[in-house]
Amino acid sequence: MANGSGDLTEDRGATKSKVSELLELQSSDHPGMVLVSTPLNGRNYMAWSRAMRIALGAKMKLGFITGKCVRPDENSDDFEKWMRVDCMVTSWLLNSISKDIVDAFLYTASAHDLWTELEQRFGECNGPLLYQIQREIASISQGALSVTGYFTKLKQLWDELTYLAPVPHCNCEYSRTVVDYATSNQLMQFLMGLNDIYDHVRNQILVTDPLPNVNKAYSMILRVEKQRQINLSLHEGNEGAAMFTRAGAYKKDGQNKSDFKKRNFVDKKNLRCDNCNRSGHDRSTCFKIHGIPDWYKDLTEQRKKDGTGGEFSMSKLVTIELKLRLIPPLMQHQSLRL
């Protein structure tokens, strides 16, 4: 009897100690805390409830929404402590609800009642939700998404599906077979939605025996994507350098042509011959020294024709004279004949 009484006393002490831990609050806890990043808006209940359970579990306050931490009698020594913690959990829940709908839940009696009402109002029946998730998984493809973005979106759907219809876990052979099938199915779904540029890696994965899990396949595809990005950046860099080089060569060629024109242009107005003391030429082209060239004789004939009513107009003569001023002396004869 003594041993039995001692065990009972020990159990009661352990239970009381556990209850005391649940009724404790940290110094950092306050009613204005927001435990989840995305508030409940009525359409994201499943993801929100999952995040909220994780946050409350980390603070050892999950029992206040599941009903395991029941309200003590008002005459109990723990009643005030329980009310304090329950009000704190209720505040955390209200802070995590969108401002558009939170007013409808301000008058709930406890955190457990608030959680139950949210579940009844926004928790969907598993059937339609399972259908929607399965349909999204069947139709999803990478498209314009990166490999990381595509895999993240697909994994979110897998997690939601597992949350609604969890795979049984035990040590029996049947359970391992079910888990292997689910893992293989996820791998195929991931590979089917990839873009065609990953065909070679996809084929390599499919012929691997045994098949890798989906995380290993994702890692392989991700390495290929990063390698493609590196090659693309190098190619773009080479093209840019080539265009810059061509532009520099074109600019240099244009500058050379400009310099050539500047070097070959002679303004004959500034010339003066020291032999005949006339302007418009120098000693190297003086007719009195070198004789009258054929092109000048032809020009004189054209002037005579124009002066006697010929077809050669004054405008043409002016054009020829201007051109003669712009070309080297040795080319003047050829230019006139052309």
d(CA 49, CA 37): 12
- Contact (Cβ atoms closer than 8 angstroms) between residue 272 and residue 283: no
Residue 30 parent element (H or E)? none
Range 152-161 burial, b when 16+ CB lie within 10 A, else e: eebeebbebb
Cα–chain center distance at 277:
79
With tokens 């405008």, the residue in question is 315
User: What contacts 24+ positions apart, CB below 8 Å, involve 152-160?
Assistant: 154/189, 154/190, 154/193, 157/133, 158/186, 160/46, 160/47, 160/133
Coil, strand, or helix at residue 23?
Answer: coil
d(CA 111, CA 115): 6
CA distances from 135 to 65, 139, 157 (A): 32, 6, 10
* pLDDT tens digits, 174-189: 778 888 888 899 999 9
- Where in the chain are the domains? 11-122, 126-230, 270-337
Q: What angle do CA 331, 336, 338 make, to 5 degrees?
A: 95
| Tens place of pLDDT per residue across the chain (338 aa) | 445 444 434 444 445 556 677 888 888 999 999 999 999 998 888 889 999 999 999 999 999 999 999 899 988 888 999 999 999 999 999 999 999 999 999 999 999 999 999 998 888 667 888 888 999 999 999 999 999 999 999 999 998 888 888 777 777 777 788 888 888 999 999 999 999 999 999 999 999 988 999 999 999 999 999 988 887 776 665 555 556 566 555 555 555 555 555 555 556 667 778 778 777 777 777 777 777 777 677 777 776 666 544 444 545 545 555 555 555 554 444 444 44
- Contact (Cβ atoms closer than 8 angstroms) between residue 60 and residue 22: yes
d(CA 254, CA 251): 5
- Contact (Cβ atoms closer than 8 angstroms) between residue 283 and residue 273: yes
- Contact (Cβ atoms closer than 8 angstroms) between residue 124 and residue 48: no
